[in-house]
């Protein structure tokens, strides 16, 4: 007999926050074929930042002589670092699953689910229906089309942080946020890192000058960053992986990391059978309330969003959907204005809003303010020669259209600009109508705004 539920939630990242106390009387199916907590907890934001902080500490030791400090980096204990990180994370995932399984109104299915008819799902041998369905199954790493890649050992962000040992050599394919963070981590901890970029710089979705600055910074610290090159073939040679590159050269490595983007898991859910319209990338098409073409089927997070790897956006989606399920006559759209993003490399990169070129293409008369860290008192203390903050301002309205920072604490320095954009404050108001503490690093932001006059 086919079981029926009031609600089915596919995925336990941000989707796990959908069921609330207001649904205590509902029968709820939760589908999670992997570990509870999703990408952020288990393979993304949280463990990666624990590794990043360790890498930052290693970098501080390596660069201590800049500040007349005598210190020596003697290497890292990668297995102990790994065990410390996942020794905290794995129990959280396990307790999240135990909590849901312990709820009388919740049934957990541990096999992938797909539609077999409208409002009808199959998970393993189980078939069930639901009045309301939330698609929150996330995304997975994209595997680039490299000849022979399926025959060689390779890692993605799902597995790279759980290696048994620090690899002597690591090749990273990709130049986005994940690739940049992992390049920073493994270089700082002691690997010889080579990064293969399809374009001319890292972080091509950021301001070009920021991507170039990060690329040059990586090269200056010793990473082998190769631009405008791709891998065409891969093969095993003894205990190594050999890559043939588009420029005709070859390179060998102990560990290969594929970090060239992510793919929505929507392609394995037979969404068309469920009446869910998708775009060309197999992501469900949703309206402003996160509702799909199938009515009471909703979608959120990486499965749906083109703003991937942004946990805060997925959380906003989930909050909206949870409300809408309980209040079908009072729907609300997720509040996601001015979506900030940060890449935790050394140096950090953080940004919000439009790039300068995007603002001009949109028809804005733009003025730009830029301030180097080294032009402020705290920048002197940091002995910083590469970092800067840039703001893009509409010359007529004086509203901030975008902000872009590369340097120490960039993710923190960005926040007052996010707040100003959200509440409609002008560049002049933010720069002059409040007190900025001297000689704090926030003067970088203050002076960038003043430069935009």
Which residues are tagged catalytic? 438
**Euclidean distance between CA atoms 402 and 187, whole angstroms:** 31
Sign of CA dihedral 197, 202, 203, 207: negative
Answer whether 91's CB lies under 8 Å from 84's CB.
no
Counting beta carbons within 10 angstroms of the beta carbon of residue 130, is it exposed (0 to 12), middle (13 to 18) or buried (19 or more)? buried
Under a CB-based contact definition with an 8 Å cutoff, are residues 387 and 347 in contact? yes
How many residues are given for the chain?
453
Q: What secondary structure does DSSP assign to 46-73, as a single string?
A: HHHHHHHHHHHHHHHHHTGGGGT-----
φ/ψ region of 301 (left if φ > 0, alpha if ψ in -120 to 50, else beta) reads left
User: Could you tell me if 19 and 28 are in contact, meaning their C-beta atoms sit under 8 angstroms apart?
Assistant: yes
Q: Which residues contact 267 (CB under 8 A, 6 or more apart)?
A: 282
Of 366, 364, 448, residue with least CA distance to 404: 448
Q: Establish how many alpha carbons lie within 13 A of residue 451's alpha carbon, considering only the half-sphere containing its beta carbon.
A: 17
**Residue 263, CB-side half-sphere exposure with 13 Å CA sphere:** 12
Q: For residue 421, count CB atoms less than 10 angstroms from its CB and return exposed for 0-12, middle for 13-18, buried for 19 or more.
A: buried
The alpha carbon of residue 404 and the mean position of all alpha carbons in its chain are separated, in whole angstroms, by: 17
Q: Name the 3-class secondary structure at 302.
A: helix
- Measured in degrees and rounded to the nearest 5, phi and psi for residue 4 equal -125, 140
- The token duo for 98 is 């135990």
CA 361 to chain centre: 27
C-alpha–C-alpha distance, residues 366 and 88, integer Å: 47
Nearest CA to 400 out of 383, 414, 416, 421 is that of 421
Pairing of strands 192-196, 224-226: parallel
Q: How far apart are CA 68 and CA 384, in angstroms?
A: 15
């Amino acid at each position: 007999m086919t079981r029926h539920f009031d609600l089915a939630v596919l995925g336990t990242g941000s989707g796990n926050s959908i069921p609330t106390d207001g649904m205590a009387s509902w029968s709820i199916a939760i589908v999670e074929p992997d570990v509870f907590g999703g990408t952020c907890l288990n393979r993304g934001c949280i463990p990666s930042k624990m590794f990043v902080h360790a890498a930052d500490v290693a970098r501080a030791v390596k660069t201590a002589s800049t500040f007349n400090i005598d210190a020596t980096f003697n290497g890292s204990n990668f297995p102990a670092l790994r065990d410390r990180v996942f020794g905290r994370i794995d129990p959280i995932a396990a307790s999240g699953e135990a909590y849901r399984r312990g709820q009388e109104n919740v049934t957990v299915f541990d096999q992938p689910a797909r539609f077999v008819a409208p409002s009808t799902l199959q998970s393993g041998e189980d078939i069930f229906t639901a009045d309301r369905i939330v698609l929150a199954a996330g995304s997975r790493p994209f595997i680039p089309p490299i000849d022979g890649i399926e025959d060689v050992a390779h890692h993605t962000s799902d597995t790279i942080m759980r290696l048994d040992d620090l690899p002597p050599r690591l090749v990273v394919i990709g130049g986005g946020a994940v690739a940049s963070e992992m390049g920073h981590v493994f270089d700082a901890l002691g690997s010889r890192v080579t990064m293969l970029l399809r374009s001319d710089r890292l972080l091509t979705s950021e301001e070009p000058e920021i991507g170039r600055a990060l690329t040059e910074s990586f090269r200056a610290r010793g990473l082998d960053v190769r631009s405008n090159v791709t891998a065409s073939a891969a093969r095993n040679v003894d205990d190594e992986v050999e890559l043939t590159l588009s420029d005709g050269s070859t390179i060998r490595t102990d560990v290969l990391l594929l970090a060239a983007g992510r793919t929505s898991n929507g392609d394995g859910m037979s969404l068309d059978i469920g009446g869910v319209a998708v775009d060309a990338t197999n992501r469900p098409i949703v309206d402003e309330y996160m509702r799909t073409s199938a009515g009471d089927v909703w979608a959120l997070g990486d499965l749906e969003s083109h703003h991937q790897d942004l946990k805060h956006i997925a959380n906003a989606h989930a909050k909206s959907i949870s409300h809408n399920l309980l209040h079908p006559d009072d729907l609300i759209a997720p509040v996601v204005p001015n979506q900030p993003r940060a890449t935790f490399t050394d140096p950090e990169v953080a940004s919000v809003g439009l790039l300068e070129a995007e603002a001009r293409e949109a028809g804005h008369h733009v003025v730009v303010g830029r301030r180097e860290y080294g032009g402020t008192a705290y920048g002197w203390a940091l002995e910083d020669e590469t970092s800067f903050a840039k703001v893009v301002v509409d010359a007529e309205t004086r509203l901030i259209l975008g902000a872009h920072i590369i340097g120490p604490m960039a993710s923190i320095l960005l926040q007052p600009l996010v707040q100003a954009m959200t509440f409609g404050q002008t560049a002049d108001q933010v720069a002059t109508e409040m007190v900025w503490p001297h000689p704090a690093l926030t003067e970088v932001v203050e002076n960038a705004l003043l430069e935009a006059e």
